[in-house]
Structure 1
Amino acid sequence: MAIPTSNGASSSSKKRKRVAVEEPTRRPKPRPKDVPVVTKAVILRPAPKPKKTASSPSDGSDDDDDEDMESGSDEENDIAGHQVEMLQLEEEIINAKTATARTKALGTLLKKLEDESEEVVIMTAVGLCRTFCRLMSRNQLTRQKDHSPEELKMVKEGKEAYINYLNNLGSLLEGGEGTSLKLAMRLLKEESIHMKPSEDYYFPFLTYGLIIKYILFSDSSDLVTVFATEYVYENLDLRLEFFKAIPNISKDVPASNTTFSENLCSILYELKGFPTTSEELADSALYISAPSKKKHPLFQITTHQRYFQETWLAFLSRPLPSKQRDILTILPKRIIPHFPNPRLLMDYLTDTYNTGGVTALLALQGLFNLMMSHNLDYPNFFPKLYALLDKDLMHVKYRSRFFRLLELFLNSSHLPAVLVASFVKRMARLCLSAPPSAIVIVIPFAYNLMRLHPTCTFMLHRVLGKEVNYETLRKDGFVDPFNEEEVDPMKTGALDSSLWEFETLQSHYHPNVATLAKILSEQFTKQQYNMEDFLDHSYTSMLEAEMEKKTTKDPVVEYIVPKKILYTEDKKDDDSQLISRENVLLDFWDFE
């Protein structure tokens, strides 16, 4: 007899809200000794209304209160009736002698999972979990050699009903129901104990894969967080099987499913403390019983790293632009060190660079890490880094991050002086149109680079020693040897040029900029500047510094203050010393 089922597609379409639970008020019937302990379910029931006393005044609302009490009583009676019916059906399933009787009782319970009442659905889900746990413990869901044909039929149809039940739990997981997660994980543990094909280690990967799939489809971020923090992060076996399942699940999920990608990103992004040695694995907690073999793949670090790599590559192949910066930030320290072959990330980093902006900069950071730690040959690294130095960089909010990373990339005395000179000259040229908050970052940075590469100081000596007077030479048609349009920093001709831009900054209107620019005309006695003292400068910080500055004398102000600025004088001003003249500023606002 066929079991009435509802497939995963139909069940998953029903979104259910999470229902709060509390301890049941009814004492459950005693269970046989072989029944495993299952997560308790609780059904919310309305609290009974207090009865009116004889002395309480009547305000005409007695009839309404009576109706509310009768309604609450009816709801309680309905829930109690469902509980009694469910317990009877459980006993029929456990004690059934024929496949027909068991199938009929299971079908009745499974149909209740489609009830409109959330309370009935949760109560039924808990009852079915308890029922299937009892069937597993009695070996009534696994084939035995001494089974009769009728018993084999009962096992077959019982498994079909169990799969149907798991799909219905998946519908609840997708809807964000927290109780269903506990039920599903309880069934996973019972399967590992009672349904393993042999006495060796057995993990129910099919059931676990179904749980992972529905959780990643869930609209509830809280449920995803609970699954990650209480199960995946805490248990070695659940984490490894999670990594194994993701590549296969991801293949069947369309790239347009952003919910799946965002949930997967939240789990992987918060994964910290990944083990680095096999000794650490031996001390980790397990959700199910440990394998008897000490050299089992579960305790081999290479196994974990291989599936960790496959999971991340599967995730990075999915479009998720909003999370690119977060992923690139953790890539050098939390992802690349655990990859058996980090070079597989080169295509991803190269494609990410093409998006531009701070994302491109972070992508170059990952490539630089591969070059320094994993001998990656990437000849286009410095040309791509040089291309990021443009006039827009001086005005964006991630300017400080850029210079921190730029200091990391260029902080090597083995770099060619021609290459470093191009970066110094490019930054000096950008200072001519940059705000003061950016210039005070560039000047100490250029000082450190020239201190590390003394050859570049010849660019400075040319202009300070008056060997090249560009103001005069421009009149004669002289052109700066520096080619600003060249994209290859090795061919710009910067080393043959000079840093006349820094001399110009010595007369800058902002005193901080002028003071810093003058240090380049002095002897380089300081080893280097600490860039952290300058990177956080902004308009706000500079304004606050000016406001808090203590002045030794009063500033000079105009003696005679005009009384009229933006409108025409109607009569002669009383102050005879004020010269009457046309209001030029007013003419600017005349649009006729």
Structure 2
Amino acid sequence: MAIPSSTAALSGSKKRKRIAADEAARKPKSKLKDLPVITKAVLLRPAPKSKKPVEPSSDEDEEEDEDEDMGSGSEEGDDEDGLASRQAEMLRLEEEIVSAKTATARTKGLNSLLEQLEDESEEIVIMTAVGLCRTFCRLMSRGQLVRHKDHSPEQLKMVKEAKESYINYLNSLGDMLEGGEGTSLKLAMRLLKEESIHMKPSEDYYFPFLTYGVIIKHLLLSDSPDLVTVFATEYVYEFSDLRLEFFKAIPTVSKEVPLSNTRYSENLFNILYNLKDLPSTSEELTDLNLYISAPTKKKHPLYLIASHQRYFQETWLTLLSRPLPSKQRDVLTILPKRIIPHFPNPRLLMDYLTDTYNTGGVIALLALQGLFNLMMSHNLDYPNFFPKLYALLDRDLMHVKYRSRFFRLLELFLNSSHLPAVLVASFIKRMARLCLAAPPSAIVTVIPFTYNLMRLHPTCTFMLHRVLGKEVDSKALLTGGYADPFNEDEVDPLKTGALESSLWELETLQSHYHPNVATLAKILSEQFTKQQYGLEDFLDHSYTSMLEAEMSKKITRDPVVEYIVPKKILFEEGKKDDDDILPSAQNMLLELWDFE
């Protein structure tokens, strides 16, 4: 964290310069570089400008304003002096803490700084947090937070009490993270790096997972989405070791957070939802961008793709076990391409998908898409798939906004010549029955969809031949003179009897009131010369698009409104029209409009 040095913060008066010089003279040179230092530029913030208009003032008012300016200037100077004295006192305490010879002296100094974290002033709290971070970093670099065999009892006591103060400081930073304080995130991540360097038990790789777990927990409980985004983009997405340890920490951290805490779940979802470009092969783990030093062992989990996928799977399963109804649709959308390919055992998602299906609507449809992916790519045996898909074909489907998404997925599910014709016939008959009460924008999608299914399953064309061959009279069926063998109440598509039925519903569409529907329905009465129709050309039709098409259509000839077009509509009584076809009776319309 690049922050200016403390010398600039103490400039402004000779007294402050002298104090800074004395403190700098007494301060030993530290080998650490870029340690966080709070400055006056960080602490002092400009006062908000007044929005009131400036009014002209007299000489007396100007004198009063000058007095007020002098008074406000003195108050600002007092504030600067107060912060400078606090800074000087903090630097003195830091030196005493680092150079303390007894546990009592060090603990007293640390407790004095920790108490200042409870101050009401935000500037003082931030200044104290930065000072404590600087202090603990110096203690780590000198090995004063790690036990050694040659330590005396007093030194062991110093290490123990200093570590307790360090834990209290981490918890205080956690509270600041929950409040959305951005400086606390940088301080916590700086401590994480220093701890991995100076507090590892051996010369091998060491990651301070306990400290990282505290950071993750409090950050996911934060009410600041922007701070969560900063943590994700600058740390989790950027460094492979932080991403892997994040996956490892989530199952443990989530146990400490109640399921009713939706803020935690939403923050975790936002991080995982925007996580992209995960490694999929071991070759992608050879040159990693790491936040701390790389491990020396070649078989370390950081270099094994199986470890990344296993912890990624555990993280997502942990999130999916928490109630998150507002994000279900987003999860199901990215499930086939961004979640399942990185799961070592995708079958673990079956319970989640089946439970999600029970919610109904588009959520159920997306859940079936995930199950279909598992069936096709991972040999999942799920015999209830097509009955559940068949149950989604109801009257409401033709009127909802996700209708186009449904037909896209339905085409994907039924686009296989290995499916039994009895099953496909049930779907065709069910859609044809729904067309009787469907809007024209939905019917123009069902007709080409039915055409494509019949081309893929020629056996289903017998349903159409029974109508075209006049084996079934649609008028007689409508009047009750014919019993349709199709059982509309049957939930199993293999037992509906649709293949023995007919598509009289589609035959009636040839006389539909909408000309586009009537014209399109006639393709079922002609020879099937076209291989198939592009369903995308018919999916996004709506009342608006159909109306715009009619309004923008170029008319080549005037439409005929009557079978016999008279030359005149109104003519005088006794005066006949030239057309011999028109009757010679009196014009009743002319009589009605006669007001004499």
Tell me whether the two structures share a fold, i.e. TM-score over 0.5. Answer: yes
State how far apart, in whole Å, the 1-side matches of 2:64 and 2:519 are: 85
Question: Which residue in 1 is equivalent to 2:300?
Answer: 296
- Relative distance call for 1:479 and 1:187 in structure 2 (3 A) is same
Q: How far apart, CA to CA, are the structure 2 residues paired with 1:506 and 1:524?
A: 17
Given candidates 29, 33, 43, the residue that maps to 1:32 is 29
After TM superposition, give the deviation of residue 295 of structure 1 in Å.
Answer: 1.4
Is 1:483 aligned to 2:480, yes or no? no
Structure 2 counterpart of 1:357, which letter?
G
Q: Which of the residues 437, 444, 451 maps onto 1:433? A: 437
- In structure 2, the partner of 1:153 is 157
The partner residue of 1:66 within 66, 70, 73 is 70
Secondary structure of the 1:61 match is: helix
Matches within 5 A, 1:435-584: 435-472=439-476, 475=479, 477-555=481-559, 576-578=590-592
Question: Which string of whole-angstrom CA distances, capped at 9 and with x for unpartnered residues, describes residues 190-221 of structure 1?
Answer: 01000000001100000000000000000000
Q: Which residue number corresponds to residue 225 of structure 1? A: 229
Distance across 1 between alignment mates of 2:137 and 2:454: 73
Q: Quote how far apart the aligned CAs of 1:473 are.
A: 5.1
Matches within 5 A, 1:47-58: 58=62
Q: What SS class does the counterpart of residue 186 from structure 1 fall into?
A: helix
CA–CA separation in structure 2 for the residues paired with 1:67 and 1:576: 95
Q: Does the alignment pair 1:168 with 2:151?
A: no
SS of aligned partner of 2:484: coil
Preserved contact between residue 48 and residue 69 of structure 1 (Cα < 8 Å)? no
Please name the residue that 1:214 is paired with: 218
Compute the displacement of 1:579 (Å): 6.9
Distance in 2 (CA, whole Å) between partners of 1:439 and 1:235 is: 52
Between 1:434-443 and 1:66-75, the stretch displaced more is: 66-75
Task: Describe how 1:119-268 pairs up with structure 2 within 5 A.
Answer: 119-268=123-272
* Deviation for aligned residue 1:469: 1.2
Contact preservation (8 Å) 1:46, 1:72:
no
Change (3 A) 1:578 1:301: farther
Q: Write the distance in 2 (CA, Å) between the matches of 1:440 and 1:158.
A: 75
Contact 1:114 1:121 in 2 (8 A): yes
Letter in 2 for 1:89: L
Instruction: Quickly say closer, same or farther: Cα 1:90–1:270, change in 2 above 3 A.
Output: same
Cα 1:74/1:476, change in 2 over 3 Å: closer
Gaps spanning 5+ residues in structure 1: where?
A: 1-20, 50-54, 562-574, 581-592
Aligned to 2:393: 389
Q: Distance in 2 between matches of 1:56 and 1:521?
A: 99
Deviation at 1:545, TM superposition (A): 1.0
Distance 1:107 1:560, change over 3 A: farther
CA displacement, residues 305-362 of structure 1 (integer Å, 9 cap, x when unaligned): 1111111111100001000000000111111111111111111000000000000000
CA distance in 1, matches of 2:128, 2:369: 53
Corresponding position of 1:14: none
Instruction: Please give the secondary structure, in 2, of the residue aligned with 1:506.
Output: helix
8 A contact 2:390–2:491 mirrored in 1: yes
Displacement of 1:67 after TM fit? 2.4
Verify the 8 A CA contact 2:474 2:508 in the aligned structure 1. no
Residue number in structure 1 paired with 2:13: none
Give, in whole Å, the separation in 2 of the partners of 1:179 and 1:305. 32
**Which of 360, 379, 382 matches 1:378?**
382
Q: Residues 254 and 318 of structure 2 are in contact (CA less than 8 Å); yes or no, is this contact kept in structure 1? A: yes
CA contact (8 A) 2:485 2:497 kept: yes
One-letter identity of the residue aligned with 2:330: D
For residues 69 and 342 of structure 2, the distance between their equivalents in structure 1, rounded to whole angstroms, comes to 66
Please tell me whether the aligned partners of residues 43 and 127 of structure 2 are also in contact (alpha carbons under 8 angstroms).
Answer: no
User: 1:586 matched to which residue of 2?
Assistant: none
State the shift of 1:68 in Å.
1.8
Q: Which residue of 2 aligns with 1:569?
A: none
Q: TM-score, normalised by structure 1?
A: 0.88
Offset from partner CA, 1:507-528 (integer Å, 9 cap, x none): 1111111111011111111111
Q: Deviations 1:459-514 (Å, cap 9, x if unpaired)?
A: 11110111211323555642111111110000000000111111111111111111
Report the CA distance shift for 1:100/1:478 in structure 2 as closer, same or farther (over 3 A). same
Distance in 2 (CA, whole Å) between partners of 1:545 and 1:451 is 29
Identify if the C-alpha distance between structure 1 residues 192 and 23 changes in structure 2 by more than 3 Å, giving closer, same or farther: closer
Counterpart position of 1:108: 112
Rounded to whole Å, the distance in 2 between the matches of 1:163 and 1:541 is: 64
2:565 maps to which residue? Answer: none
Distance 1:530 1:467 in 2: 31
How many residues are matched?
543
Question: Separation in 1 of the partners of 2:383 and 2:206?
Answer: 49
Compared CA separation, residues 74 and 480, structure 1 to 2 (3 A): same
Instruction: Using the TM superposition, give the Cα deviation of residue 406 of structure 1 relative to its aligned residue in structure 2, in angstroms.
Output: 0.4
Letter of the 2:445 partner, please give it. Answer: I
Structure 2 counterpart of 1:44, one-letter code: L
Change (3 A) 1:507 1:47: closer
Q: Distance in 2 between matches of 1:31 and 1:498?
A: 95
Match of 1:584 in 2: none
Q: Radius of gyration: which is bigger? A: 2
Pick closer, same or farther for the CA change 1:177–1:46 going to 2, 3 Å.
closer
Q: What is the match of residue 43 of structure 2?
A: 44
CA apart distance, 1:35: 2.3
Q: C-alpha root-mean-square deviation of aligned residues, in Å?
A: 2.3
Q: 1:413 aligns with which of 388, 408, 417?
A: 417
Rounded to whole Å, the distance in 1 between the matches of 2:38 and 2:569 is 84
Deviations 1:401-452 (A, max 9, x none): 0001001000000000000000011001101100111111111111110110
Cα distance in structure 2, aligned partners of 1:327 and 1:468: 48
Write the distance in 2 (CA, Å) between the matches of 1:380 and 1:74. Answer: 77
For the Cα contact (< 8 Å) 1:44–1:119, is it kept in 2? yes
How far 1:62 moved relative to its partner?
Answer: 2.1
Gap regions ≥5 residues in structure 2: 11-19, 49-58, 563-567, 571-588
